[in-house]
Structure 1
Amino acid sequence: MRHSVPPAGAPDAPGDGRGERGRRLVELDVLRFVAAFAVMSFHYMAASRSLWDEFPTKLFAPVARLTTLGILGVELFFLISGFVILMSVWGHTVGEFAVSRVSRLYPAYWFAVIVIFILYRFSGVSGFDPKLSTGEYLLNLTMLQGAFDVGHAGGVFWSLWVELRFYVLLALFSLVGITLRRCLVFLAAWAGLALLAEVTQNDVLVFVFMPRQAPYFIAGMAFFLIHRFGARSAALMPWLLVAVGYGMSLHAATERVGERVRLIGIARYPAPPEAVIVAITVVYLLMAAVALGWLRWLRWRPLVTVGALTYPLYLLHQTISAVLIPAYRDVLDPWLLTGITMAVSIALAYAVYRLVDRPGQRWLRSRLGALLDRSRGSRRRGRGTPSRTVPPIPAQSPEASVP
């Protein structure tokens, strides 16, 4: 697979998955896992012909019309990201935003790149081998390999490059100060420029404004505005932006899935355009339910952990399948082997979350936060102003910066 108005002050939601009055939006954790599970199902049961040595949709024909649509789990991730990242940057400086994003994304990502490097360098596993040089693996550690036209160590890593470009756009926008009115202008302008990029296919416009992914980020941010300002008179404009994003998403999704259908045929990839339209509609309805508070009844505490393990699950599930499926496909029933592979992937993702991701985030956030504090203190002393303690940078829950 190659988002009279009060000013932006202390945020309602610092980006840790918390909404109004500091309540954690557990429903977003649930949707993250749904998105990750959809992508995993797509890879295991619809896309990995090289692992099964035949088309997976033939092996799993009873569910093929669902698993082929699992590719759109990435689109759900982008919608959630638009919601959460606007929540995260609101009321914070660019430095705070950068610290929160780097500390959130990189620990588990570094671990995944190292595991993939070791696996393909020192074992006989060949499925999904990116065939990268040592230098290219090192470049992958920066997450910037896409800028240098270097392959991704993991098949799903392309989406992280998309996420990074989204973060840059939002960070630049935050320099002018984020308010509701400015958000509406920004989102409308981005939608227009993304549409222009899609029509012209100008390389620079496509790179900057990402017409195939922008609709989801735009709609996700609009959903956050509805969540935060839904009772205000300006709420009609966010809904209009959601509608624009939805229309553009239908085009982007049908084109993305259609390319795969045209490549291998509808019989081997049964995902007709009408099914894609239904899937995108369901995804938007789920996000609308979050924005309107209709899923507030979700309160079960373990769901927070379920949401937290989705990022390492997303990063590593393909690699795990490359180890297990070729090794056991000839001795185990495909359904049983897929179930075992999913269970192992989820268990290992939980282990990575507890042992690598969570402590790594804390360690990196504390050090980057200290550097940010010292930088601010130096600038204040240089201006002759008294130093003050900078509030701790909030922890980020995993959005999935995903596919």
Structure 2
Amino acid sequence: MKNSRVIELDALRGIAVLLVVFYHYCYRYAELYNSEVSVGVARYGHLGVELFFLISGFVIFYSLLHAKSLQQFWVGRIARIMPAYWLSVVLIYAVISMVGLEGRTVGLGDFIANLSLSQEYLGFEHVDGVYWSLTIEITFYFWVSLFMIRYRQYAQYLFLVYPVILLAVQMCDLDMSRKIEKLFLVEYGSLFVAGICYSNLHQKNMSKSSLFVLLICVLVNTFQYVGIELMTVLFFHFLMLIVSLGKGSFLSLKPLTYIGGLSYSIYLIHQNIGYILLDNLSVVGFPHWLLTTVVFSVVVLVAHFMVKYVEKPSRKLIIQKFGKQYAF
């Protein structure tokens, strides 16, 4: 499996980013700027981020197994996420500064802090609201790389204990600050850990302890979500399970895998730029579904060029200069 790509994961990434875009364009945009275009079911599209976190646990764990050092792992992660992120920060800040977007403008200090991807911990605003999930991702990278590489002898114990602690926190409904929640991944840690379990299953390394941990993670989710949200998250677990078992080939539709391959860049740029385009195009009087289709097409086109001319070349350059490519 080394240096291979699980194509079904691209399909899941495609589903995840489509859900998030659906949420922002057909529900969140309506909340903020035009309530007449609200699509009720779109409110659940934000759960696409949960699917991203499950996928991240799967992929990052595999990367860590083949990392020889913390430096090698972090070079790979920086090469993967930062070039496109820096471009999106500059692009979105410049566009909003020139065109404006109600409630979405930030200061120069916020812009500079965003370049470090530590803005939330430093108390600055996000240039684009979707960056909140990157804070969660980076925090996950920190903890899992620390224990899987530097303190690997403790990883097995943490793997068993951490989900149980999360379950206890959910059952007791403990009140804690948002920064503490983010630092220790209280809200989303169960999804990342479940992703690790699915990665083990895919590599045929699923032990009784991994199965126990997976069941605890799913149980944590049953305390976190209710109703349609719970059913959606459980469905995501089901999709991850069938992909892990090698039974998800039916998901590998070309449109989904194509969008999935662009999903990171789409995610980075779709929200605020999408709002601006929707706001300016709404004057033509076209139906909202047509406007969202046009705007999404523009975002996909921009993302295509970001991947082709920024993500892939810069990643290759960074890996060649600072370390061997090992992650997918």
Per the normalisation by structure 2, the TM-score is 0.90
Q: Distance in 1 between matches of 2:144 and 2:37?
A: 39
Cα distance in structure 1, aligned partners of 2:195 and 2:304 = 27
Q: CA deviation at 1:113?
A: 0.3
Instruction: Report what 1:146 is aligned to.
Output: 120
Which residue is 1:95 aligned to?
71
Counterparts of 2:32 and 2:294, CA distance in 1:
15
In the TM superposition, 1:273-312 aligns within 5 A as 273-296=226-249, 305-312=258-265
Per-residue CA deviation, residues 75-128 of structure 1 (Å, 9 max, x unaligned), is 00000000000011103121111100011000000000000111122x223145
Instruction: Give the number of aligned pairs.
Output: 323
Q: Does 1:192 align with 2:164?
A: yes
User: Is residue 239 of structure 1 aligned with residue 182 of structure 2?
Assistant: no
Deviation, structure 1 residue 150: 0.8
Please, which of 15, 35, 44 is the counterpart of residue 34 of structure 1?
A: 15
For the 8 Å contact 1:143–1:161, the answer to whether it is kept is yes
2:142 to 161, 168, 193: 168
The CA distance in 2 between the partners of 1:238 and 1:173, in whole Å, is 17
Is the Cα–Cα contact under 8 Å of residues 128 and 322 in structure 1 kept in the other structure?
A: no
Higher fraction of helix: 2
Which one of 92, 98, 101 corresponds to residue 126 of structure 1? 101
Contact 2:136–2:182, Cα closer than 8 Å, also in 1: no
What is the CA RMSD across the aligned residues, in angstroms? 2.3
Cα deviation code 1:30-70 (max 9, x no counterpart): 0001100100000001111366421543xx3xxx32x2211
Shift of the 299–159 alpha-carbon distance from structure 1 to 2, 3 Å rule, reads: closer
1:384 is matched with none
How far is the alpha carbon of 1:243 from its aligned partner?
Answer: 1.7
Superposed counterparts of 1:2-401, under 5 Å: 12-13=1-2, 18=4, 24-49=5-30, 52-54=33-35, 56-57=37-38, 60=39, 64-65=40-41, 67-92=42-67, 93-121=69-97, 123-127=98-102, 129=104, 131-176=105-150, 184-198=156-170, 199=172, 200-203=174-177, 206-230=181-205, 234=207, 236-252=208-224, 254=225, 273-296=226-249, 305-331=258-284, 332-369=286-323, 392-394=324-326, 396-397=327-328
* Preserved contact between residue 325 and residue 341 of structure 1 (Cα < 8 Å): yes
Q: Which has the larger radius of gyration?
A: 1
| Aligned-partner SS, 1:393 | coil
Contact 1:76 1:283 in 2 (8 A): yes
**Contact kept in structure 2, 1:30 and 1:307, CA below 8 Å:** yes
Q: 1:342 to 1:53 in 2, by over 3 A?
A: same
Question: 3-state SS of the aligned residue for 2:283?
Answer: coil
Counterpart AA for 2:269: L
* Cα distance in 2 between the residues matched to 1:343 and 1:127: 24
Gaps of 5+ in 2: none
- How does the TM-score come out when normalised to structure 1? 0.74
Residue type at the aligned position of 1:306: I
Unaligned runs of 5+ in 1: 1-11, 19-23, 255-272, 370-391, 398-403
Separation of aligned partners in 2, 1:344 and 1:49: 20
1:194-223 alpha-carbon deviations (Å, 9 max, x no partner): 345554334475343221101100111111
- After superposition, give the CA deviation of every residue in 1:149-180 in whole Å (9 maximum; x if it has no partner): 1111111000000111100101111235659x
Whole-angstrom distance in 1 between the partners of 2:23 and 2:266? 14
Residues 218-240 of structure 1: CA distance to partner in whole angstroms, max 9, x if unpaired? 1111111111125x6x2x33222
Tell me the residue number matched to 1:265: none
Residues 108, 352 of structure 1: 8 Å contact kept: yes
Q: Which amino acid aligns with 1:34?
A: I
Structure 2 distance, partners of 1:128, 1:361, is 34
**Mean CA deviation greater in 76-85 or 243-252:** 243-252
